[in-house]
Amino acid sequence: MNTILNTCLELKKKQVVMQDSQLDKLNDFKELLEKHKALLANKSSPQQSLLQIQESAKKLQFQKPQKEFQVCLSKLNKELDRKFKQDISVIYHPEAFAGKEELISRALALHFIRQGQFELCDEFMDEAQISVDNELRDTVEQLKTEFEQLYSILQQLEKENDLTLAIKWAESHHDELLKIGSSLEFNLRSMRYIQLISNVGTMEAIDYIRTYAHKYGDKHFSEITKLSAALSYADRLESSPYAELCSSSKWVSIRQEFQRDFCSLLKMSTESPLYTSVYVGTTALPVIMKLYTIMSSKKAEWSAQNELPVEIPLDEDLRYHSVFACPVSKEQATDENPPMMMPCGHVVCKESLHRLSKNIRSSTRFKCPYCPSESSAEQAIQVYF
């Protein structure tokens, strides 16, 4: 990949050189043409003017930068073909999206809304011929109002470092934020306090922290202590032991936290599901391609449905829930074969539970495979992770 990257950088330089030099040369050539036009108006020799123009055009070398750019572009194409010579269409499942046009349209429309591209969303739904009475239209309009508010607040945080709207929103959703264990309101107040120390004055900052500290003392006592101690360095906070409190990275973190909690209250993930799906797909692609190559060389077929024969490594931020593997059958739990907990507290998959109960012909009760307790299949309850 480094070779491709270097070629891209070289191509970029060639493009800049070609663009800049060609403009200069064209301007020079235009001046030359204007000069000879004036000479011809004064009845100068046309043949002599033509020869001079041709000679000047050769010296300007219009084609040289273009040729260098084309050579570099051709080199990049060859490197891309050499690096990505695999045909990924061989692992494409043509029936994967069959009959799911409505779901795809929904995913795209909601993705545009979540990216703040509201006009693009409307244009997409019109071109996709989504009817006016479709439920998706109502959903989009509701979310559009919410996300317009989100992006308005994020814009104030990013461009103006203005916390006013963000704090107001957090106050109005105080109870909901508490239920999800959020510290957003406190963190916004903390940043406002640091702003007062840096830009207004220590007395205003003291009044501010006295007004609000009692609300967060139980959960954030150590942070409040640190904020109070920062007052001792009010005139040189950026070079103090508390410099991290006024770091620019704090603004990035607070925007991310605000967006995450905002989406949580809407019962939505921080990232768009479409983005996550594409990200996971591209992460899995090299592994699946390697698997296909190995199986093709061994003339083996992949027969399992709705299941991959290998584990796909995913980043921690892409792990949304626990995966339960039955200790008896060693199979992963599914919606059809969910984990079931027996009265003793041990958990097995539903199919394993039924097999255990059927093995005991004389009674409906059976022994737990991991402890002496006995129970019946009816006593087991489904576990939700």
Q: Is residue 146 part of a domain?
A: yes
Q: Is residue 313 part of a domain?
A: no
Helix, strand, or coil here: 375?
strand
The answer to whether residues 168 and 121 belong to one domain is: yes
The answer to whether residues 256 and 282 belong to one domain is: no
| C-beta separation of 383 from 340 below 8 A | yes
How many domains does the chain fold into?
Answer: 4
The answer to whether residues 174 and 214 belong to one domain is: yes
Q: Which residue has the tokens 């814009």?
A: 155
Q: Give the per-residue pLDDT at 362.
A: 56
The answer to whether residues 32 and 111 belong to one domain is: no
What CATH number does the domain containing 382 carry?
3.30.40.10
The answer to whether residues 212 and 246 belong to one domain is: yes
Buried b (16+ CB within 10 A) or exposed e, 195-213: bbbeeeeeeebeebbeebb
Using CA atoms, how far residue 214 sits from 163, 202, 252, 264, in Å, is 20, 19, 27, 26
Among 197, 211, 202, residue whose Cα is nearest residue 167: 211
The answer to whether residues 173 and 277 belong to one domain is: no
The answer to whether residues 126 and 251 belong to one domain is: yes
The answer to whether residues 130 and 257 belong to one domain is: yes
Give dist(CA 357, CA 81) in Å, integer.
58
Q: Give the per-residue pLDDT at 146.
A: 93
Q: Is residue 196 part of a domain?
A: yes
Q: Give the per-residue pLDDT at 312.
A: 80
The residues, ordered by sequence, that sit 6+ positions from 225 with a Cβ below 8 Å of its Cβ are none
DSSP state of 132: T
Q: Is residue 315 part of a domain?
A: no
* Torsion 240-244-249-252 (CA) sign: negative
Give dist(CA 68, CA 362) in Å, integer.
86
CB atoms within 10 A of CB 159: 8
Say whether pTM exceeds 0.75. no
Pairing of strands 347-349, 339-341: antiparallel
Using CA atoms, how far residue 33 sits from 18, 25, 28, 60, 186, in Å, is 22, 12, 9, 13, 70
Give dist(CA 270, CA 255) in Å, integer.
12
Q: Is residue 310 part of a domain?
A: no
| C-beta separation of 354 from 332 below 8 A | no
The residues, ordered by sequence, that sit 6+ positions from 219 with a Cβ below 8 Å of its Cβ are 183, 186
The answer to whether residues 47 and 138 belong to one domain is: no
Structural domain that includes position 348: 321-385
| pLDDT per residue of the chain (385 residues) written in tens, 0 to 9 | 678 888 888 888 888 877 777 777 777 778 777 877 777 777 667 777 777 777 776 766 667 777 888 888 888 888 887 777 777 777 777 787 888 888 999 999 999 999 999 999 999 999 988 888 889 999 999 999 999 999 999 999 998 899 999 999 999 999 999 999 999 999 999 999 999 988 888 888 899 888 888 888 888 888 989 988 888 888 888 888 888 888 889 999 999 999 999 999 999 988 899 999 899 888 888 888 888 888 878 776 666 556 677 778 888 777 776 778 888 888 888 888 999 999 999 999 999 888 888 766 656 788 888 888 888 888 889 988 7
Torsion angle (degrees, nearest 10) of CA 259, 260, 264, 267: 80
Q: Is residue 85 part of a domain?
A: no
DSSP for 262-322 reads HHHHTT--SS-HHHHHHHHHHHHHHHHHHHHHHHHHTT-----SS--SSPPP--GGG--S-
The answer to whether residues 68 and 118 belong to one domain is: no
The answer to whether residues 178 and 278 belong to one domain is: no
Radius of gyration of the chain, Cα coordinates, nearest whole angstrom: 33
Q: Is residue 168 part of a domain?
A: yes
Q: Is residue 308 part of a domain?
A: no
Q: Give the per-residue pLDDT at 183.
A: 92
Using CA atoms, how far residue 66 sits from 61, 73, 303, in Å, is 10, 10, 53
Q: Where are the beta strands (DSSP E) in 5-112?
A: none
Q: Which residue has the tokens 């190995």?
A: 294
The answer to whether residues 24 and 66 belong to one domain is: yes
Buried b (16+ CB within 10 A) or exposed e, 330-350: eeebeeebebbebeeebbbbb
